Amino acid sequence: MKPIIPENERSTEPLDTDMVIYHPDMKRANEWVLTEYEPPVRDFCIFVPCAKKKPYHESPSHKIFDRLIFGILEPEMVHIVVFGTCGVTPRELDTQYPFMDYQFMMGKCNVSKIKRDFILMESKRLARYLEKTKNNYKHRIAYCIGDFRTAMEKAVEMTSISVTIVPKIETIERNIQPGKSFVFGSLNQKDYLQDLAEAISKPLGRQVIEVKGKEEIINDNDWYVL
C-alpha cells in the first residue's frame, strides 16, 4: 500500500508532545481515512483504544483484546478500528505514518484545554466515520473508558447510529480505584473483558464465554484516562 503521506511531504513538527492532536500530519492522515479510505463490509466493527506500543496489533493490550475477539468471531466477520490519540485508524493501517510514529499518550495529558479539544475533535471524527460506514457493519461495539468513551458517546449522539459501548457503567463504577493514577483501572481487567465478551456474543445469540485467568494490569497505558 502506498504511504498515506509521502515522506517528502511530511511535517518536521515533533510527534512526541502534547500538541500531537494538532499535528498537521495527524490531521491529514485522519482526513484521508474519513474521505478516501474504503472500509470493508463486516458483521462487526469493534472500536478499541490506541496503545503505547506500535504497531497497535503487536501491543500487549491489543493481543489480549484479540484473543477474546477472535475466540468468538472469525476474522472475516470483524473489522477492528483503533481510536484515541491517533484519531480514527482502521487497524490494518497501523504500520503507516503517522500512526506508527507518534509517542505522546493522551491519557497522561493534564492540560484542560487539550483534553477539551481532544474530545471535540475526536467526537467529530468518530461521527464522520460512523456516517461513512453506516452501511458497512451490522453491529458496532466500542470498548473504552474515560475521555475516549466520552468522545464516542458524543459521536453516537451526533449521528443516532447505534454503538454498544462497554464496559457497562455499573462495571466501571464497581472497579473505580480512588486515589490511583488511573481511577478506572485497566481495560484488561476480567470484569471489563467479560462485558466485551457479552457485547460480542449477544447479537449472535450465543452463550457468553466466561473470561478466565487472573486480571492483567499491563504497562501499556496511553488509552488510560484520569
Helix (H) or strand (E) holding 124: helix 112-132
User: pLDDT digit string (tens) for 188-205?
Assistant: 999 999 999 999 999 999
Averaged pLDDT for residues 158-185: 91
Nearest residue to 69 via CA among 91, 89, 87, 44: 44
Average pLDDT over residues 102-124: 87
Q: List, in order, residues 6 or more apart from 224 with CB less than 8 Å away.
A: 107, 108, 145, 146, 181, 182, 184, 186
**φ, ψ of residue 143 in degrees (nearest 5):** -110, 100
Rg (CA), the chain: 17
Compute φ and ψ for 140, nearest 5 degrees: -130, 130
pLDDT for the residue 92: 98
The whole-angstrom separation of Cα 111 and Cα 17 is: 12
Mean pLDDT of 31-46: 98
With a cut of 70, say whether residue 151 has pLDDT above it: yes
Q: What is the pLDDT of residue 106?
A: 75
Length of the chain: 226
CA 211 vs CA 56, 77, 81, 170, 222: distances in Å: 22, 21, 22, 18, 24
Closest CA to 137 of 67, 77, 59, 53: 77
131 and 160 Cβ atoms separated by less than 8 Å: no
* C-alpha cell recorded at residue 100: 506508527
What confidence category does residue 213 fall into, taking pLDDT thresholds of 50, 70 and 90?
low
Contact 79/45 with Cβ under 8 angstroms?
yes
Query: Measured between alpha carbons, how far is 89 from 100 in angstroms, rounded to an integer?
Result: 11
Residue of higher predicted confidence among 218 and 83 = 83
What is the per-residue pLDDT for 209?
86
Query: How far apart (Å, rounded) are the C-alpha atoms in residues 113 and 26?
Result: 18
Q: What angle do CA 216, 217, 221 make, to 5 degrees?
A: 135
